[in-house]
Amino acid sequence: MELQAVLMAAGGGSRMTDLTYNTPKPMLPVGNKPLMWYPLNLLERVGFEEVIVITTREVHKMMSTDPKTKLDIKMKLDVVCIQEDGDMGTADALRHIHQKVKTDILVVSCDLITDVALHEVVDLFRAHNATVAMLMSKAHEFTETVNVPQRDFVGVDQSGKRLLFMANEADLEDGLIVRRSIIRKHPRMHIKTGLVDAHLYCLKKAVVDFLAENKSISSIRGELVPFLVRKQFSKMTSGQKRMDDTETVDQKNDGLTNDDLFFPSRDEALLQLAQERSCWNDHRGDMSEAYHGGKLRCYVHIMDQGLCYRVNTLSAYIEANRMAPKFIEEPAVHPSAVISERFQMGSDSMIGAGCHVADKTSIKRSTIGISTTVKEKVKVTNSIIMHGVTIEEGCNIQGSVICSNAVIGRGADLKYCLVGNGQRIEPEGDTYSNTKKSILLEVSVTFGLV
């Protein structure tokens, strides 16, 4: 087993609280599948047989009991529950499962929907014996509007693979500062903004060991990765340090203190020898050895094309639902749905199991969840209807999200609305526009973009 897969599915979805008020984020339906199905499917497609799932009790319970959120996954899931309100970061979670980590790991977030060729990332990790390899993607337009003011600056080398610099605009008040020694080693640095971090990481086992020692790091993205990126160029990783470390490989566990961040791999000595004997080099120009003798290396694969969504905002959620049919090979209309003959449906819509769709309805660019009832003369366009919703006659629903178990009264006209879990829209034929009939009202809506 080369890599162990870890799925982080304990996030609360704090940026889309409207949706996650009743349904935990990993269980949000996207294309009638729970959100966490997508990363699991990604892992299954590339041949993982076992995944460690870090999640909350609530999600675990839903996974095992609720038929609506059944995961159609053949892999063996090793579910580890953590406290819901424990405020655990991703790195804390890794520390929590430290005992289970036997080898290098692949960490995936539950809100990642992508069609990336995963081997690209893993190959970088393998080829360069990297400490961390991660995935990023060009940002999609709908995400840019959500967090414009603070861009992430990512610096990569000429090949576009080696990660040299990482900072958020908020931390760069005095301008972007790069040490000259880094620039000397990597004289051509591309600074990119407008990238989305997919929160997919290949990490060396030693990093997990390091985390176990260093309790102060609590988030992978926020603290660990920037720390490793910086560490690549600090004096620890080069020069004479390496010498004494090769001697102490046997007792590396003692040697791994807080300050001494050295990650020896299993075949360190052999790799070292291979590198010395090889004429291969990772850079040109100066005559120094490959990687300039650095031991700690961070790499990033930046997707140029293809889909990569992080479903952490409402707009991303809507966008992901629109893209979901591409990931699902099942028929658009579930065989167990009861569908009237006389209704119109676009090819880009989905209808879940056990639905009742009555006459003279029209469903376009929408997802209808499991056990939902749609009565006569209903028009649904550009919307997401979750599970167990009842839509009475003559409704017109456009660009809206209707959460589970809501009831939409007769003749309601909803445009760009969010209807919360179990809410009831009175059948008075009112026109709602750009509003939310939900428990939470203060969060701004981004429906206008859809």
Contact pick of 4, 55, 143, 214 for other proteins (by CB under 8 A)? 214
Distance separating alpha carbons of residues 57 and 61, to the nearest angstrom? 6
Measured from the CB atom, is 259 or 329 closer to other proteins? Answer: 259
Q: Mark 285-314 with x for binding to other proteins (rule: CB under 8 A) and - for no binding.
A: xx----------------------------
Backbone angles phi, psi at 270, to 5 degrees: -65, -45
Contact pick of 113, 163, 217, 324 for other proteins (by CB under 8 A)? 217
Measured from the CB atom, is 174 or 254 closer to other proteins? Answer: 174
Q: Where are the beta strands (DSSP E) in 288-376?
A: 298-303, 308-310, 338-339, 344-345, 350-351, 356-357, 362-364, 367-368, 373-374
Distance separating alpha carbons of residues 445 and 431, to the nearest angstrom? 17
The reply to whether 443 sits near other proteins by the rule CB under 8 A is no
Q: How far is the CB of 308 from other proteins (least distance, A)?
A: 16
The reply to whether 65 sits near other proteins by the rule CB under 8 A is no
Q: DSSP 3-state assignment of 301?
A: strand
Q: How far is the CB of 135 from other proteins (least distance, A)?
A: 18
Window of 13-21, 108-116, 188-196, 379-387 that interacts with other proteins by CB under 8 A: 188-196
Q: How far is the CB of 47 from other proteins (least distance, A)?
A: 35
Q: How far is the CB of 37 from other proteins (least distance, A)?
A: 32
The reply to whether 87 sits near other proteins by the rule CB under 8 A is no
Window of 46-54, 56-64, 224-232, 338-346 that interacts with other proteins by CB under 8 A: 224-232
Burial class of residue 306, CB neighbours in 10 A (0-12, 13-18, 19+): exposed
Question: What is the distance between the terminal CA atoms of the chain, rounded to a whole angstrom?
Answer: 43
The reply to whether 155 sits near other proteins by the rule CB under 8 A is yes
Q: Where are the beta strands (DSSP E) in 399-439?
A: 401-402, 407-408, 413-415, 418-419, 424-425, 431-433, 436-437
Distance separating alpha carbons of residues 280 and 289, to the nearest angstrom? 9
The reply to whether 149 sits near other proteins by the rule CB under 8 A is no
Q: DSSP 3-state assignment of 4?
A: strand
User: What angle (nearest 5°) sits at the alpha carbon of residue 282, between those of residues 277 and 283?
Assistant: 120
Q: Mark 99-138 with x for binding to other proteins (rule: CB under 8 A) and - for no binding.
A: ----------------------------------------
Amino acid at 358: A
Q: Residues in contact with other proteins, total (CB under 8 A)?
A: 41
Query: For residues 397-416, which are near other proteins according to CB under 8 A?
Result: none
Contact pick of 261, 351, 363, 425 for other proteins (by CB under 8 A)? 261
Q: How far is the CB of 336 from other proteins (least distance, A)?
A: 46
The reply to whether 258 sits near other proteins by the rule CB under 8 A is yes
Contact pick of 2, 174, 250, 442 for other proteins (by CB under 8 A)? 174
DSSP 221: I
Q: Residue 214: which residues within 8 A CB-CB, separation 6 or more?
A: 258
Contact pick of 78, 123, 223, 282 for other proteins (by CB under 8 A)? 223
374 and 392 Cβ atoms separated by less than 8 Å: no
Window of 283-291, 305-313, 317-325, 345-353 that interacts with other proteins by CB under 8 A: 283-291
CA atoms within 13 A on the CB side of 39: 28
The reply to whether 212 sits near other proteins by the rule CB under 8 A is no
430 and 447 Cβ atoms separated by less than 8 Å: no
Measured from the CB atom, is 45 or 184 closer to other proteins? Answer: 184
Distance separating alpha carbons of residues 223 and 216, to the nearest angstrom? 9
Measured from the CB atom, is 57 or 188 closer to other proteins? Answer: 188
Nearest to 388 by CA among 143, 4, 63, 67: 67
Contact pick of 181, 336, 340, 433 for other proteins (by CB under 8 A)? 181
The reply to whether 273 sits near other proteins by the rule CB under 8 A is no
77 and 54 Cβ atoms separated by less than 8 Å: no
Q: How far is the CB of 216 from other proteins (least distance, A)?
A: 5
Distance separating alpha carbons of residues 429 and 413, to the nearest angstrom? 7
Backbone angles phi, psi at 34, to 5 degrees: -65, 150
Distance separating alpha carbons of residues 201 and 214, to the nearest angstrom? 19
Nearest to 337 by CA among 387, 381, 395: 387
Residues at the interface with other proteins (CB under 8 A): 151, 153, 155, 169, 172-181, 183-184, 187-194, 214, 216-218, 223, 227, 230-231, 234-235, 239, 258-259, 261, 284-286
